[in-house]
C-alpha cells in the first residue's frame, strides 16, 4: 500500500476512534446559552466566519499562514479539533485534497459545511487539469465570495438560533464592505493598460480573478499544486512572456518560488528581462495581526502589488 494511502487510512481510523469515544454529536441546533465552536480548514474561511460571528462564538482554522491546502495532511491534533467542533467548515471542490475523505466521514457525526459548493455550478470554472472537477479558488471573485459568506451565515444561524439576529446583522455589514471591495478592485485593475493586463503566477489560482476583473491570467502549474511542472511548461511560459513583453511575474506565499525563479532565468536567457513583481497571497492569508491576515487585506495587498508592477 503506498505510503500516502497508509497515512490516510490511519487518519481515518483515528477519526473514527475519536468519534466513537465521545457522545454522538447532534446535527441539530445548539441549546440557548451554549457557545458555538467552529473549526475551519483554511485561514480564508476562518476570516469569513469571524466576520459573521464576531465575539459571540469561537472559531479557529487548522491551516495557518502560508500553508498550501492542496498538499496539507491532517495531524492527530487536527482530527481532535475537528471532532470537538460544533461546526466544521471547509472550502470543498477538492481544495483540501486528501482531507475530503476525512471530512466526509465527519459529516456523519456533526454539522459539516462545504462553503464553495454552495455556488451554482454554472458560475464555477471547469478544471482543465482534472476531469469533472471545478476550480476551487472562488474567493478571488469577491462577488462569489459574498455568496459563500451568505451560505455560511445561514448555516451558522441554523446551528445557533439564539444568536441568529447578531449573525444576520454582522453578515449584512460585512457584505456591504465586500461590495465596496469589489468595486475598488474593478477600478484598480482597469487602471492597468489593457495590453499590460496579464498576470502570471506559480499556479493557476487566479482564474476567477481574471474573469471577474478582466485581466488575463497564466499559471505555471495547474489549479492544484499537486501537479508538477516540467521543462516544457517553463519553456512555453518563457516564450509567452518574451512575445508579450511582460514586465513582471509573481510568486505566491504558499508555493515555492523556485518555479517562477526558473521562468525569470529562462526569460533572461531569451534576452527579455522580467522581474518578480512581489508576493501574492493565493491559498492562505498572511499572519494574524497583519493587514494581509484578513480576506479584505489580502485582496487589497494582491491588487496593489499587481497594479504597481504591471502598470
152-184 pLDDT, tens digit per residue, is 999 999 999 999 999 999 999 999 999 999 999
Question: Could you say which of 167, 184, 201 is where a domain stops?
Answer: 184
Q: Are residues 8 and 148 in the same domain?
A: yes
Q: Are residues 54 and 21 in the same domain?
A: yes
DSSP H or E stretch at residue 241:
helix 231-244
Q: Are residues 134 and 7 in the same domain?
A: yes
Phi, psi for 67 (deg, rounded to 5): -90, 135
Task: Calculate ∠ Cα 174-182-39, nearest 5°.
Answer: 45
pLDDT of residue 228: 55
The fraction of the chain above a pLDDT of 90, given in percent, is: 77
Question: Could you say which of 164, 184, 204 is where a domain stops?
Answer: 184
pTM attached to this predicted model: 0.88
Q: Are residues 12 and 137 in the same domain?
A: yes
Q: Are residues 17 and 160 in the same domain?
A: yes
Q: Are residues 176 and 203 in the same domain?
A: no
Q: Are residues 34 and 161 in the same domain?
A: yes
pLDDT of residue 273: 96
Specify whether the backbone of 282 is left (phi greater than 0), alpha (psi in -120 to 50) or beta: alpha
Q: Are residues 169 and 45 in the same domain?
A: yes
Q: Are residues 20 and 148 in the same domain?
A: yes
Q: Are residues 155 and 14 in the same domain?
A: yes
Instruction: Please tell me the total count of domains within the chain.
Output: 2
Q: Which domain holds residue 197?
A: 191-310
* Pairwise CA distance, residues 287 & 27, whole Å: 33
Question: Could you say which of 157, 184, 211 is where a domain stops?
Answer: 184
- CATH number of the domain enclosing 206: 3.40.50.1980
Residues in the chain predicted with pLDDT less than 70, given as ranges, are 1-26, 129-131, 222-230
Query: How many CB atoms lie under 10 A from the CB of residue 121?
Result: 8
Q: Are residues 180 and 195 in the same domain?
A: no
Q: Are residues 166 and 234 in the same domain?
A: no
Amino acid at each position: 500500500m503506498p505510503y500516502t494511502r497508509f497515512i490516510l487510512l490511519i487518519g481515518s481510523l483515528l477519526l473514527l476512534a475519536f468519534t466513537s469515544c465521545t457522545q454522538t454529536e447532534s446535527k441539530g441546533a445548539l441549546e440557548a446559552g451554549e457557545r458555538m465552536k467552529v473549526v475551519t480548514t483554511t485561514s480564508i474561511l476562518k476570516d469569513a466566519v469571524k466576520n459573521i460571528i464576531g465575539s459571540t462564538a469561537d472559531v479557529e482554522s487548522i491551516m495557518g499562514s502560508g500553508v498550501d491546502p492542496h498538499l496539507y495532511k491532517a495531524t492527530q491534533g487536527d482530527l481532535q479539533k475537528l471532532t470537538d467542533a460544533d461546526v466544521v467548515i471547509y472550502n470543498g471542490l477538492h481544495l483540501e485534497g486528501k482531507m475530503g475523505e476525512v471530512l466526509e466521514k465527519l459529516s456523519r457525526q456533526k454539522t459539516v459545511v462545504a462553503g464553495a459548493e454552495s455556488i451554482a455550478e454554472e458560475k464555477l470554472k471547469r478544471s482543465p487539469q482534472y476531469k469533472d472537477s471545478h476550480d476551487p479558488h472562488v474567493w478571488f471573485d469577491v462577488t462569489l465570495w459574498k455568496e459563500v459568506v451568505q451560505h455560511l451565515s445561514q448555516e451558522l444561524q441554523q446551528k445557533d438560533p439564539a444568536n441568529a439576529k447578531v449573525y444576520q446583522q454582522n453578515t449584512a455589514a460585512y457584505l456591504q464592505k465586500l461590495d465596496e471591495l469589489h468595486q475598488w478592485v474593478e477600478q484598480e485593475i482597469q487602471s492597468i493598460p489593457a495590453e499590460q493586463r496579464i498576470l502570471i503566477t506559480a499556479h493557476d489560482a487566479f482564474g476567477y480573478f481574471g474573469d471577474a476583473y478582466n485581466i488575463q491570467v497564466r499559471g505555471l502549474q495547474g489549479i492544484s499544486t499537486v501537479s508538477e511542472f516540467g521543462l516544457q511548461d517553463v519553456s512555453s511560459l518563457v516564450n509567452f512572456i518574451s512575445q508579450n513583453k511582460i514586465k513582471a511575474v509573481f510568486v505566491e506565499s504558499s508555493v515555492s518560488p523556485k518555479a517562477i525563479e526558473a521562468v525569470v532565468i529562462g526569460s533572461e536567457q531569451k534576452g527579455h528581462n522580467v522581474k518578480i513583481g512581489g508576493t501574492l497571497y493565493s491559498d492562505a492569508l498572511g499572519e494574524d495581526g497583519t493587514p494581509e491576515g484578513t480576506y479584505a487585506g489580502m485582496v487589497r495587498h494582491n491588487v496593489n502589488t499587481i497594479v504597481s508592477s504591471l502598470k
